[in-house]
Amino acid sequence: MALRVRHASPRTVETYVHWLRRFIVFHGKRHPRELGPEAITAFLNDLAVERNVAASTQNQALNAIVFLYKRVLDRDVPELEQLVRARRPRRLPVVLTRDEVRAVLTRLEGTSKLVASLLYGSGLRLLEALALRVKDVDFATREIRLRDGKGRRDRVVPLPDALAPLLEAHLMRVRELHQQDLANGFGAAPLPDALARKYPNASREWGWQWVFPATSRYEDPVTGAERRHHLHETAVQRAVRAAVVNAGITKHATCHTLRHSFATHLLTSGYDIRTVQELLGHASVRTTMIYTHVLNRGGLGVRSPLDHF
């Protein structure tokens, strides 16, 4: 409830609950009120030392625990002096060449191909693409408006000309599905924040429907209403992974690799890094700088002496 009051996304709620459950089980299901800084440190150190998790994973667990103590139990968490920080390796992102991207996309079909094309063509994260509403796509201006993206920041990205007619045809089929749901007494999409109270009829409007709806309906655990959620990310992840393997690509390429490739190919085409930062929705240009390695030719831009023979 405390997370929902602060308008946390469903994914954040799910993640925090996961880590708090693990924290409680780790300490023999004792109530967190009975656990102090030493218990928190022991759990986080176990993640870093014994389970060898990434730094981001350990930080995720720490954020969940701090939220529990500060916002739910109304207790401050003192500095964890004995905390062992997980190492944060500096890894370059996996990037596909243009030919490799083409090989992957040509081996996809249907909705998975459309979603993957948006990841590469517009630089979207997978969940950003799946959570698109019909009203977010502007065919006239060839723009996609991302609402409440990562870090709760809005941004505008390009809608590729090559993708527009395919997306329009897809939305015609989605509209038919929505009309069927309405005829059967359903068709209400979940609305963000308090919009459902402010605009009680908006959830059934066409503009608020998912661009990529799921094939089946589900029961909303909060309201008990039967709704249709957006397509689950695993469906696209499996399809993309199969396409990578079938294309004979040995790189560990995932859906997120298509977003990395979008940024990399923009830089190699001459776009400045600030533009790429804005399109990706990075809060700091330092995050975007990771893609500048592609501007070098070979290791550190050095030509091997063997090539002078």
Q: In the chain, which residues have pLDDT < 70?
A: 1, 4-8, 88-90, 149-152, 193-194, 294-309
Residue 234: the pLDDT is 95
pLDDT at 7: 62
Q: How many CB atoms lie within 10 A of CB 1?
A: 7
> What pLDDT is recorded for position 150?
66
CATH number for domain 2-72, candidates 1.10.150.130, 3.10.580.10, 3.90.1150.10, 3.20.20.70? 1.10.150.130
pLDDT value of position 136:
96
Q: Which residues, 6 or more positions from 289, have their beta carbon under 8 angstroms from its beta carbon? A: 273
Catalytic residue IDs = 125, 150, 256, 259, 282, 291
Q: In 3D, which of 10, 37, 40, 34 has the Cα closest to residue 22?
A: 40
**Domain-by-domain residue ranges, the chain?**
2-72, 91-300
- Give 91-300's CATH code, choosing from 1.10.443.10, 2.40.50.100, 1.10.357.10, 1.10.150.120: 1.10.443.10
Q: Do the domains 91-300 and 2-72 match in fold?
A: no
pTM: 0.79
Q: How far apart are CA 190 and CA 208, in angstroms?
A: 9
